[in-house]
Amino acid sequence: MYNIVIVEDELIESESMRRIVSQYVDNAVVHEASTGKKAIQLIDDLEQIDMMFVDINIPLPNGNQVIEYLRTKNSDTKVIVTTANDDFEIVRSMLNLKVDDYLLKPVKKSTLTDAIKKTLEVNDVDIAASRALKQKVVAMIESCDYARWHGFLFETLDEACVSTPSGVSQRKLLTDVLEILHQQITTQGDKSLPAAKKVAALIQEIHQNGIPASAYYRAMSALLNASEEVFDYSLKHASGAMDFIDRAKFHIEKNILNNLTLDEIAARSFVSSCYLSRAFKKITGAGFSNYIASRKISVAKSLLQFSDLKINTIALELSYQDANYFCRIFKKETGMAPSDFRKIVAPEPV
């Protein structure tokens, strides 16, 4: 995702630029400032600014001073100056501030998109891939397909932990997914701001440190909590269209780390326990208890491979109070004991 700041005191010009940027760069969060003072506040508040458009003639502090202040905080931010004055002296004065481009107002759409493409080094393939990813994530959320979402999320998280060049690209995919998740949370209102801040902090941590074994479970927990925030909101708008089996799966995923009972899930699905048990096996092909065990063991596999948690701790985190019972369930599902599985998938001692 890109943090893009538009510093512009003309409302019509600012709205036009914001609309064009949002249409062209799907994974962009656009921030706006109508004065130099507000721009400086954004520079202080945002940990990362990828691109800043600066009207050189904004109210004091002026555009020059805003860019000078930005450079004391971030020398890597791409800066594009906008002005209504075609004055070479202005252009020359910008050179020492490492300005990347210079656009005359009113800025045409084609001119602005070309400047973004050149400055951020994005291309149409990247943009199409970004849009496809966003559509995929939003579709899972809007349809309340919690199980599919968790499968996609854990797979993306796990692949980002692999110590190979492909793991690096998968780490970017993970942060792109988290940026989309962050956008979804921020649209839900002020009550969701704490969750949005936690996702933003996780993105920053992954950028800085990756996901070492010592941080894997913390990252997973943060993702589960953020997912719950988004899917609870989505459920309110889609619950009428969900049948009781989908509702049961929804609440299983929501409480995947908790102790799950048939009675509890049936109550949340608005059917009797006996009816849910019979219908669940008939429709899904798996018994209720076996389905839950399979979902929990899927999480356990990731924890065994990528975290440094001890086996008995993993059992407790999955709400198995008896570690031996967890080991029996794991062996039944996978054909091997947790310790043997860990030796195979994570040969280095953890």
pTM of the shown model:
0.71
Output the domain CATH number for residue 347.
1.10.10.60
Question: Between these two residues, 309 and 59, which has the higher pLDDT value?
Answer: 309
Q: Rounded mean pLDDT of 230-234?
A: 91
Question: Domain end: 104, 122, 140, which one?
Answer: 122
Does 68 share its domain with 24? Answer: yes
Q: Examine the domain organization and report whether 276 and 217 are in the same domain.
A: no
Answer yes or no: do 117 and 194 share one domain: no
Q: What is the dihedral of CA 174, 175, 180, 185, to 10 degrees?
A: 110
Strands 51-55 and 78-83: parallel
Same domain for 344 and 266, yes or no, is yes
Of 239, 265, 293, the domain-final residue: 239
Q: What is the DSSP string of 97-108?
A: GT--EEEESSPP
Average pLDDT over every residue of 162-172 = 70
Same domain, 11 and 113: yes
pLDDT in tens, 13-70: 888 888 888 877 766 788 899 999 999 999 988 877 888 898 888 877 888 889 888 8
Indicate the pLDDT class of residue 107, thresholds 50, 70 and 90. confident
CA distance 155 to 143: 20
Domain limits for position 54: 2-122
Strand arrangement of the beta sheet that strand 78-83 belongs to: 28-33, 2-7, 51-55, 78-83, 101-104
Q: What is the pLDDT of residues 245-290, one digit of tens each?
A: 999 999 999 999 999 999 999 999 999 999 999 999 999 999 999 9
Do 27 and 112 lie in one domain? The reply is yes
My answer on whether 208 and 263 are in the same domain is no
Q: Are residues 116 and 136 in the same domain?
A: no
Count of domains for the chain? 3
- Looking at the structure, tell me whether residues 40 and 137 fall in a common domain: no
More confident residue, 270 or 208: 270
For all residues of the chain together, what is the average pLDDT? Answer: 87
* Percentage above 90 pLDDT, the chain: 42
Q: What is the mean pLDDT of residues 183-196?
A: 83
Confidence at 3, pLDDT banded by 50, 70, 90: confident
Which range scores top for mean pLDDT: 63-77, 168-182, 309-323? 309-323
Domain closes at, from 239, 272, 291: 239
Residues 207 and 268 in one domain: no
Compute the distance between CA of residue 253 and CA of residue 340 in angstroms, rounded to an integer.
27
Contact 71, 95 (CB under 8 A): no
Nearest to 1 by CA among 140, 137, 150: 137
In this structure, the answer to whether residues 174 and 277 fall within a common structural domain is: no
Model confidence band, residue 172 (pLDDT cutoffs 50, 70, 90)? confident
The predicted structure's pLDDT at residue 349: 45
The predicted model gives 304-308 an average pLDDT of: 95
Reported as half-sphere exposure (CB side, CA atoms, 13 A), residue 223 has a value of 29
234 with 127, same domain: the answer is yes
The domain spanning residue 116 has which CATH number? 3.40.50.2300
